[in-house]
Each structure stands twice: as C-alpha cells, then as structure tokens.
Structure 1
Amino acid sequence: MFTCIIVTYGFTDQEVETLLKFRDSLFNTTALNNWNKSSLCKGNGSNWTGVICVNDDFYGLQLENMGLKGIIDIGTLSELSSLRTVSFMNNHFEGPIPEIKKLGGALRGLFLSNNQFNGEIPDDAFDGMKSLTKVYLANNTFTGKLPTSLARLPKLLELWLENNQFEGQLPDFRSTALRDVNVANNKFEGPIPASLSNMSASFFSGNNLCDKPLDPCKSSKKKRSIPKIAIILVIVGVAALAAIVLASFLFRGRRRPKTSQMGKSSAAKIHKNDVQYKKAGSAPLPDHRENYNKKSENGKLYFVRNGRERFDLQDLLRASAEVLESGSFGSSYKALLLSGPAVVVKRFRQMSNVGKEEFHEHMRRLGSLTHPNLLPLVAFYYKKEEKLLITDFIENGSLASHLHSKPSPDQPALDWPTRLKIIKGVAKGLAYLHKELSALTLPHGHLKSSNVLLDDTFEPLLADYALAPVVNKDHAQQIMVAYKSPEFTQRDRTTKKTDVWSLGILILELLTGKFPANYLKQGKGANADLATWVNSVVREEWTGEVFDKEMKGTKNGEGEMLKLLKIGMCCCEWNVETRWDMWEAFEKIEELKERDADEEYSSYGSEGDVYSSRAVTEDDFSFSVTG
C-alpha cells in the first residue's frame, strides 16, 4: 500500500515520557496503542492518535470517542507546560470533575462533555485559568450551583452545560466576549442575566428561567383579593354570554349547507395538478399535505438566515414542484414559489431520534455559517417523524453530474483550470467547517461529488454538511461517506481526519473521472476502490492512464496535476495517524497553480500534453510534507 514519506521533527523526551505515563493511568486504551517512543510531532500533525501539534510543537490532546475509562491524571498532565487544549468528550469517565485548575492559566480549551461525571463542582474549580475560552461540560450529571470561578473567567467565549442537573440562579459572567452559553435542561431558576439576553432562547429551555430571551418574569407582588360576590357575578355573566353565542351558532348552522366531500377532493386534485413530476410515481410534499397543514407549531417554517424573503409552509405546498432525486437521506424537490427564487426542499425521515430543542439549536448553528463555498441553509421544518431542510436551488447541478453524465453539446467537459478551481473551493469550504464546527468529530461527514454543487461560474458549494449529529446513528453508518472510511471499517471510529479521507477520494475522482463505486454500497465494505486502483497503476509505471481523458486544458499543467494527485493520495492514506490533517491538505492545495513553473518539469515534451509525457513512477510519490 502506498504511503507518504514524512519528514520527522524533534520532540522532547520529557513530553513523550509524560504522555506515556498519562496513558498508563487510563483503562481501555486500545485506541492509543500507537503511543510509543517514536516521533511525536510533524509540523501540524502527529504520529500519535489524539495528539495535537502546532508548528512541530506539542499543543494538546483530543482523546474523543475512544471508550476510555479510569481517573484522569491531572497531576501528570500538569507536567506538560505547552498543553493548551484537552478533550475527553464521548468516553466513559465518571465521578467528580478532575482538579482542572492544576492545568494552569495557559489552558485555552476544556472539553469533558458526554461522559458520566457527577456531583457538585467546587466553587474554586476554575481559579487562575485566565486563558480559558471554551468549556464543554454538557451531557453529564453535574449538580449544585455553578462555581463562582467559572463565571469569573475573563476570556470565556463558549460554555456548554446542557443536560446536567445544575441548579440555582445564573450568575453574571465577567467575560464580555461570550457568544454561546447553553444551559438547557438543568434546574436553573429565576431571571436570566442581561449579559446573556442576546443568546438563543433554546439555550435556556428545560429550566425555570425568565426574562430575555424568554418571557418576562412575573411580578412577585400579591394581588388584592377579589370579593366572592364579584367572582360570582363574573361567572354568571360569562355563562350568559356563552349561551347567546351558542344559540347564534346553532341558528346559523341550520341555514348553511354542508361542505361536500366532492369539494374537498376537487381542491386536492387542483393542488396535485399544479405539481410537475420528473419521475412517475414519485410523491412530493403535496401528497403529504395533511402532515404539514396543522395549525400548530408543527406547521411552521423556521428561517435561520437574515435578509431572505420569507414564505410559509403553505406557500411551499401551493408551489409547483418537481422531484430532483431520491437520495440516501430522502427525496429532494425543486419548488417554484410565486415570488422569489426557486428553492430545494429535502425530506428527512431518519432523524427521529433527535429531540426538538437539540434539532432546532443545531439548525440555527448551521444557519449562522457563512462562506462562499457553502450552500447556505435557508429554513427548516421540524416534526418528530419528518424534517424538511430548505436551501437555494443551484441551476448548474452537482460535480458528480458534470463528471459522470454525458455532457450536452453546449456544455463541454470540465477542463483542468476549472477542476483546480473546484477543488480549491472545496478545500476552503471544508477548512471553514473544521474551524467553525471544531466541537464536531465530523464537521462535514458526507463529502462526495454529488454533494458539491456548482454555481454558474463553477464555484463549488458544499451541501449536506454537519448532519451526522442529527441523523439516526444506524442510518448514518449505513449511508454516510464518513462511515466508509478505513478507520470506521477497521476500528469502528471516526476522527477529524475522516473528512480528509473523503477529500482525498474526491480529489482522485476529480482527476481520474472514475466514480468511487464503494459509495453505492450500504454499510461496511471495500472502502478505497479508487485509491487502490491509483496505487496499483503507480506501481506499474503508468503514463497518462490515471487522468481523465475528458479533461482538457492540461497543456503546461501536468506537473500541477501530478502534485494534486499526490495530495489526494496523502489525504486518503489508510493509516489515520500518518494521514494529513485538514490544514496540511488545505495549505498544499492552496499552493497549486494552473500552469507549471517555468523551472519545473522541464523534462516534459514541448507539447506539454500529459498523455504523451514521460512515464510517472512510484518514486514521484516520495515527497515530504514540507514540500
């Protein structure tokens, strides 16, 4: 199997010994078997699972989703002077919160969500942690009041406390930079401090709280008692009025003809005739109109983006529509509203395990994302059995359709400059997701060519991103691209580098024009058909067989194409520890150009045609991360 040759860097023996000592204090450490006395950091990557490096230096630990147990040895961790972030999310730790203040004032991120920690947090637990910006304690069973030292953190940006048993009143927080404080589903009571009034209302649900962004607190002053005679008079008056209204209603009812069943069915037929189908037998939203027509919160569209023209659910039901596809998540429809642009409505049925507040909050977070290479979420609809996500309609279609469908006479095949532009945009959008959704293991999770849409200038827009947290787990593992990665096939786990693997497969698909057939299989299976094929061709000293023969405009660009091919192979390296991380891949892709530098690849023929160039051998793939 092809692997990238990596240049190693220096590291301190003390850090290695300390990390090994810390691992030995834990139980069920199978995921950390590659922790040994080998090289630790390599640029912004690491050879050790869960170790974060920045510029060749140890930076932090991200030990998530590993089934770890035991006591977190804070004393040993405190010996790591360069420790800046530590995450133990989604493991099996229990008992009281560790003595985190021993980690010192340089720690910036603390992530303990989704464990079984319990009990009260000491009031001085966060004393001296003046650099702490992110604290994640959600989904444990902490009790008692919030510690004063937590409220005093001067640089706090994000605080996630949902789904615990905290109680008492919310304190005023010292930090003026707060952007997310989620205390949903605890036992807090009383008024919400003014410093938190601009947060989402869902952040405070499941408590006994009041004031902005919730309803105003009720006055505690006692109302003057009302004499019993006044109460009796009011009751008699209301009863008399009700009798008058009832008599009037019955009288009018006798004079009004009954609504015919024929009238109801005719209205349904008229509505159904407005719908234009692309596939015979496919049923868009109107056939399920009764599911959405209730005059309740279930019939409401929630818009997550400002500056967009609003419409309601009935506007969608009345719009003419056509079926776009019946994908792995559900059906998609193009709806032509009476006013405004066309929109796409995606129906999701495999999201029934997620609660309403959690779903609403996740959709709001997605709606807050803004990047030129992301397809923005416009609105959503929630019902326990079914969800709708609404986005803009992109006329130019997906990258998959341009790569694998027969082009029309007025639509030529994608040339090399266009493909390079597309992959650069994909990398930018993916890097943005990894930055903004850093708390998610899978910031995208479903990156593939059919989820890369192209606008009229062929700028890519990533779609169906960050849905893993709200899709039912069993269904996600059957159909989402992330769960076809080697690490999930072999070890039933995913990491931040899983998205990088998907990016690598996408790069190979873009360059070869070959579709990754394993994506069509549900569940586990052969996970690197395309990468394996490219590897085999490299070993046999191919010429131009690996590149898509429909790709034009390759003159003077074959060297850069070869660089991109190398990047793709390093991104889909089977060994997740030696695979590039997102930032390494992004930086290498950003360096690519449409044309080779004058001094490079001078051994190529004067015509510059990649298909007549010299044979490319496996030696061409022996290159360093540092370039």
Structure 2
Amino acid sequence: MRSSNFFTFLLLMALLVLHERTTAEDDSSGFRGYERDALLDLKAGFNSSFLDRNWTGIMCYMNEAPYWHGIQCVNGRVTGIILESMGISGEIKTNALANLTELSLLSFKNNLVSGNLMEFANNPKLRKIDLSDNKFQGQIPSSLLYLDSLESLLLQENKLTGPIPGFNQSSLKTFNVSQNNLSGAIPETKTLQSFGLSSYLGNEKLCGPPTRSSCNTTIASSQSESENLSSKGDGPPVGAILVVVNVIVLVVIMFLLIIYYKKYKKLKAEMKAKNLLPKDEEHDSTIVDRTMEKRNREIEMGKLIFVENNGPRFELDDLLKASAEGLGHGNFGNCYKAMLEVGPVVVVKRLKDLKPLSSEEFMRQIRAIADQKHPNLLPLLAYFYSKDEKLFLYRFAAHGNIYNRLHGGRGTRNRVPFRWSSRLAVARGVARALEHLHLNTRSQTTAPHGNLKSSNVLLDENDEVLVTDYGLSSLIALPVAAQRMVSFKTPEYQSHKRMSKKSDVWSYGSLLLELLTGRIPAHSASPGTNGVDLSGWVHRAVREEWTAEIFDPEIAVQRGANQGMLRLMKIAMKCCEKSPEKRPEISQVVAEVEEVKVAVDSEDEEFSYSSLDPSVTDESLSATASAVIADDRR
C-alpha cells in the first residue's frame, strides 16, 4: 500500500515538473495560447471563408514571419491585426481585444463589420486604429482616452452616434470621424481643435468649432423655459409666435433678394451695352471653379501620385532617366520595365483608348483600384495623369506571366516543364484573388476583373501568383473594351450584350482549361496565333472518346496526378457553362479548387475519363467560338 502511494506521489511530481517546463518554454518563445484563442474568437464573429482556411495552427512563433494573413507578431506576441478591403462582415464583441495586450496596430478598413466599437482598456500600446468604412454603431468608447501612445484614429464612414470624447493626447496626429451620426459640441481640447473641418464633416448634429454651427445651448434652454412658462398661461405659446416671426422674416429677406438680383442683372446688361463693364466681370461665377480645377491639374502635372503608403518614393525625373526595356504591346498600352538608378525595378504601363474622364473622375476610379488589396493581386504603386499621358506603375514580377510560362519554348531544349503542382498553385491563387474582387464589388452587372486571362497572371521572384489588370473596365472606352476585353467574349455578351460577376467565372474556367490542356483559348489568342474554343473542344473529346488528348503531355505523364487533374477539369467545365445562371459562385469555386490534391499516394490509381458527368459537357459548354475568333481577328 505504501509503495503504491509512493509511486503515485512520484507520478504527480513528474507531471508537475513537466508542466512547469512546458510553461517555461511557452513563456520563452513569447507565444501565448490565449492570444490565439482571442483571434479565433474574433474570426468566429466574421463571415470570411478566406480567414477560415488561413487562420489555422499557430499564428506566429518567436521572430519568424507570421503564418496567418493580416497578423503581425514580435517575439511570438500579436502586435498587429490588418484585415483591409476583404469584404468581411459580421459583428465583433466589445471585449474581443482584451487578451491582446501587446497590440499596437489595428485596421479593419473598408469592410462590412457591424456592432459597437471594441473596448481598448487592455491595449495600452495601441498606436494606430483604422476602422473606417464599415458599419460600426453606438458611441465612441471613452477607453480610447487612456491610450497615451495613440497616433492615428480613423473612424469615418460608419454609423456612430453620441458625443465625441475629449481626446487630448499630444501623440494624436491623425483623426477623422466624418460621415457618421455624431452629435453635441466638439470638445475644445487642444488636440481636437488642431484638426480641420474635414475631420468632422457629415455629422449634422455636431456643433462648435471647427464647424460653422454654433451650439447656442443657452438660447435653446431659455427658449425651452419660455415655452414651458407660456404653456401655463392663457395666451398663445411663445414658441409658436417665434416660429411665425421667423417665417415672416425669411419671406421678406427672400423678396428683397429677388428685387436686388433683378436690378443687378438689369444694371449689368446696361453697362455691358455701353462697354462700361470691366473684362474680368464678364466671366461667370464658375470661373472660380475653373481656376481651382486648373490649379489642381497644375499641381499634379509632372508628379507621380503614389497610392502605396509604405511603398518606394521617387520622382518622374528619376523614372525618365531610368534604363528601360520594352515588355510588349498590351491591349490598352505598351509596357516597359524601368530600372531606376536608386530604387526598385518597376513596370510602367502607358494607358491609351481611355474614356473621356476628368481628372477627378480618373482619380476616383484609381482610388477604387488601389483599395483592392490581397496577397494574390498585384498592387498599383503609383500613377501619372496629364492631358496627353496616363501611366500606371507596378512592381516588377521577375518570373513573367503564365501565358509565356505555359506556352513559351515548347519543343526546344530551353523549355522548363510546367509541372502539375505549379499549375494547381496558379489555379488556387487566381481563384482567391477573384473571390476577393467579387466580395468587394457591389454591382451585379459588371465583371469585377473583366479581363482575366493567362497573360494577366504573373509570378514574382518567389513564384507567388499575382493577378493584374483588374478594374480597367471602368477606364477603357466601351467600343475598345468590347473588342479586347475577355468579359466581352463571354457567351452572354455575344448573344444578349449582358455582363455580370459570372462573366469572370467563365473567364476563370477558360484559364483552368488552358492550364490543363496546354492549348491557347480563342478569346485571348494574340494576333497571328490560332486559338481553340477550349470548352467546345473538350466536349467533343469526351463525346467522341479521344479523351487521351485532353491533358497537356507535360502533366499527363506525372504519376498520381490524374485524379486531381480530372477534378479540376470538372470544375472548369461547370465554370464554362453557356448560361450564367448555371455557373457556380466564385466562393464555391474557391472551396472546390482548394480541395483538389496535387497527387494521390496510391500507385495503382484508376483514372477513367468516363467519370466526366455528361450533364456538364453538353452543348451548353460550347461558346460561340466563331464570333469570338472573328472579334479577335479584326
């Protein structure tokens, strides 16, 4: 009995030592399990399939790069959450950040997040907060007043109500609460009064400087007291009398203004007839607007406008002095590789055939493009606008585009095989980028990308997939777009002049078929190149049982890959349905592509083309190839 108790005692001591050692290791690594739990609770309130797939395992360890998208870490501790323009919806609990005590950067910019703002009492190191362009409601929490290191607070374009707390941190240099439903007097602290009117616009019930509305609380209260007293007497209410008097005064003022205006016009006409009017006075009052517009153009002329906050900076002169190399003639302008003397290698796209947009309209469209941020989208670095020249600047993707990677060098010794695993990685990266564009585009009658094809999918120095040329349909003139953009080659546009998000799904299905077959689609073939109506060709191959020729020989010979290739083929055929209503949503496509395996372990894998479902290989798959080819050859 004693020996049994002694053995139990030793076992408990061993478990205690092991627990202490594990805790010590956990502390030394900096990793905190409760921080991971807090992030998972945060994700549980979101509606984001991307985060559901990406936020798994450990988010970060020591000083290694974070494993989770949008998370920043130092010594294993979470210091930043940056989830911008991802179409995230859902509601955040007010105590969601309580266990993230090392947090210094928080941004949910341009999403659809709702609910009350979080409490920040346990986040004393927060420096930058950007919750703009969401659906947050309720009051601004007073816990923000105790963030002594707060440098930037952006809460514009939400549904916040109530007063503005009395922020007075000397560290606060950026502040914006415009386009909300805030009310009351703006606190007269040194910090809040240092920001201009633009930080408070769109809140009709705010008063006091720097707004033009005076609060008049004393007058309002005295009027209220007078009304209460008069309601007790016998005569008419004082408030009603004041309203009548105000209306009469306004009518008289308007009447006098009308008389004055008529006399002014008559006098001006007489002076003009007698040549007594100075030349400057002959201009309409809109000359002020024209002068401001001209000044804005002059400011922007000769300057590169950068849209990446943390990107490189250089002047137009530096770009003009850089050695350049032509990269080809695109549908909407030539592209050049520019190697700056000091700075990064960039790609310059000279835009042509644009809509007749004003500078303001052009910049508004550019901002919409620049706001689309995703790991698989090539970001716009900068742009240049003048009357005769429009430029886009991107970072250079060292490994070129998928069209050249897939079709270049075939039959030569210099050909580097494009393996199945690499092609599947491209399919996944493009699908994720397309899903992001679709989730962040509200219009149902446009294709968010509009020109998806293999030459617009790039590989950087790490072979990361980057989709480019998105959003150009908002800039390109319609007749030119109809001839050159892929979304205008879809069956629904060829037959009914219709377009939707499903047009991008059709383009994606065509890209998958190009990756699987190694053949060039008719709708994106360059001049002088014979393209194939891929969906119709695959349909005939299945129907006539010469299916052995479907897959590109470079991947068909890879052992264990056939089942994955067949599954991706089925997805592609569903995407290429002639009727948009029969095509899947892009989020469903992403989920299915993510499940496709690179290889099957079994060496005795059975592969049967007969498993292709005839329901997705009927005549509806075949697009109007003759019309497409005719358009491309014009």
Q: State the TM-score, normalizing by the size of structure 1.
A: 0.51
Measured after TM superposition, the shift of residue 469 of structure 1 is 1.3
Measured after TM superposition, the shift of residue 521 of structure 1 is 8.0
* Structure 2: stretches of 5+ with no match in the other structure: 1-47, 50-88, 91-111, 116-130, 141-153, 159-174, 181-195, 202-208, 215-296, 618-634
**Cα 1:158–1:372, aligned 2, differ >3 Å: closer, same or farther?**
closer
1:594 paired with 2:630, answer: no
Please tell me the residue identity of whatever aligns with 1:483: F
Structure 1 residues 463-542: aligned runs within 5 Å = 463-520=468-525, 529-542=533-546
> In structure 2, what is the Cα distance between the partners aligned to 1:623 and 1:532?
12
Match of 2:338 in 1: 335
**Cα 1:214–1:324, aligned 2, differ >3 Å: closer, same or farther?**
farther
Match of 2:418 in 1: 414
> In structure 2, what is the Cα distance between the partners aligned to 1:473 and 1:465?
16
Q: Are the counterparts in 2 of residues 322 and 335 from structure 1 also a CA contact under 8 Å?
A: yes
More helix by share: 2
**Cα RMSD between the aligned structures?**
4.0
Structure 1 residues 193-592: aligned runs within 5 Å = 195-196=177-178, 211-212=197-198, 296-406=299-409, 409=413, 412-439=416-443, 441-520=446-525, 529-551=533-555, 554-592=558-596
**Cα 1:476–1:520, aligned 2, differ >3 Å: closer, same or farther?**
same
Q: Are the counterparts in 1 of residues 197 and 211 from structure 2 also a CA contact under 8 Å?
A: no
> In structure 1, what is the Cα distance between the partners aligned to 2:601 and 2:456?
33
> In structure 1, what is the Cα distance between the partners aligned to 2:155 and 2:526?
44
Match of 1:246 in 2: none
Match of 1:32 in 2: none
Please tell me the residue identity of whatever aligns with 2:177: S
> In structure 2, what is the Cα distance between the partners aligned to 1:579 and 1:529?
18
**Cα 1:572–1:597, aligned 2, differ >3 Å: closer, same or farther?**
farther
Q: Are the counterparts in 2 of residues 381 and 389 from structure 1 also a CA contact under 8 Å?
A: yes
Measured after TM superposition, the shift of residue 623 of structure 1 is 7.9
> In structure 1, what is the Cα distance between the partners aligned to 2:360 and 2:138?
27
Secondary structure, aligned partner of 2:320: helix
**Cα 1:556–1:303, aligned 2, differ >3 Å: closer, same or farther?**
same
Please tell me the residue identity of whatever aligns with 2:541: V
Q: Are the counterparts in 1 of residues 522 and 532 from structure 2 also a CA contact under 8 Å?
A: no
> In structure 1, what is the Cα distance between the partners aligned to 2:199 and 2:332?
34
**Cα 1:420–1:363, aligned 2, differ >3 Å: closer, same or farther?**
same
Q: Are the counterparts in 1 of residues 156 and 176 from structure 2 also a CA contact under 8 Å?
A: no
**Cα 1:343–1:132, aligned 2, differ >3 Å: closer, same or farther?**
closer
**Cα 1:425–1:179, aligned 2, differ >3 Å: closer, same or farther?**
farther
Measured after TM superposition, the shift of residue 219 of structure 1 is 9.2
> In structure 2, what is the Cα distance between the partners aligned to 1:194 and 1:370?
22
**Cα 1:156–1:420, aligned 2, differ >3 Å: closer, same or farther?**
closer
Please tell me the residue identity of whatever aligns with 2:494: T
* Structure 1: stretches of 5+ with no match in the other structure: 1-53, 56-106, 109-130, 135-154, 160-171, 182-192, 199-209, 222-293, 605-612
Q: Are the counterparts in 2 of residues 541 and 618 from structure 1 also a CA contact under 8 Å?
A: no
Measured after TM superposition, the shift of residue 174 of structure 1 is 6.3
**Cα 1:410–1:436, aligned 2, differ >3 Å: closer, same or farther?**
same
**Cα 1:326–1:521, aligned 2, differ >3 Å: closer, same or farther?**
closer
> In structure 2, what is the Cα distance between the partners aligned to 1:180 and 1:335?
38
Secondary structure, aligned partner of 2:565: helix
Please tell me the residue identity of whatever aligns with 1:617: S
Q: Are the counterparts in 1 of residues 574 and 584 from structure 2 also a CA contact under 8 Å?
A: yes
Q: Are the counterparts in 1 of residues 177 and 199 from structure 2 also a CA contact under 8 Å?
A: no
Q: Are the counterparts in 2 of residues 484 and 527 from structure 1 also a CA contact under 8 Å?
A: no
Q: Are the counterparts in 2 of residues 373 and 460 from structure 1 also a CA contact under 8 Å?
A: yes
Deviation track 1:543-579 (CA, whole Å, cap 9, x = no partner) reads 4200111236621110110000010010011011111
Measured after TM superposition, the shift of residue 299 of structure 1 is 1.2
Measured after TM superposition, the shift of residue 301 of structure 1 is 0.9
Higher relative contact order (CA 8 A, sep 6+): 1
> In structure 2, what is the Cα distance between the partners aligned to 1:339 and 1:553?
46
Match of 1:617 in 2: 610
Q: Are the counterparts in 2 of residues 415 and 553 from structure 1 also a CA contact under 8 Å?
A: no
Q: How many aligned positions are there?
A: 359
Structure 1 residues 122-161: aligned runs within 5 Å = 157=133
Structure with higher Rg: it is 2
Which has the higher mean CA deviation after the structures are superposed, 547-556 or 392-401? Answer: 547-556
**Cα 1:332–1:303, aligned 2, differ >3 Å: closer, same or farther?**
same
> In structure 2, what is the Cα distance between the partners aligned to 1:175 and 1:463?
40
Secondary structure, aligned partner of 2:376: coil
Please tell me the residue identity of whatever aligns with 1:497: K
Deviation track 1:187-215 (CA, whole Å, cap 9, x = no partner) reads xxxxxx951189xxxxxxxxxxx723699
> In structure 1, what is the Cα distance between the partners aligned to 2:155 and 2:211?
27
> In structure 2, what is the Cα distance between the partners aligned to 1:499 and 1:528?
19
> In structure 1, what is the Cα distance between the partners aligned to 2:402 and 2:139?
45
Measured after TM superposition, the shift of residue 603 of structure 1 is 6.0
Please tell me the residue identity of whatever aligns with 1:196: S
> In structure 1, what is the Cα distance between the partners aligned to 2:612 and 2:311?
53
Which has the higher mean CA deviation after the structures are superposed, 360-369 or 421-430? Answer: 360-369
**Cα 1:213–1:384, aligned 2, differ >3 Å: closer, same or farther?**
farther
Q: State the TM-score, normalizing by the size of structure 2.
A: 0.51
Q: Are the counterparts in 1 of residues 176 and 200 from structure 2 also a CA contact under 8 Å?
A: no
> In structure 2, what is the Cα distance between the partners aligned to 1:459 and 1:340?
22
**Cα 1:621–1:308, aligned 2, differ >3 Å: closer, same or farther?**
same
**Cα 1:494–1:385, aligned 2, differ >3 Å: closer, same or farther?**
farther
> In structure 2, what is the Cα distance between the partners aligned to 1:532 and 1:366?
34
Deviation track 1:512-555 (CA, whole Å, cap 9, x = no partner) reads 00001232489xxx998111111111111224200111236621
Secondary structure, aligned partner of 1:433: helix
Please tell me the residue identity of whatever aligns with 1:532: G
> In structure 1, what is the Cα distance between the partners aligned to 2:614 and 2:463?
30
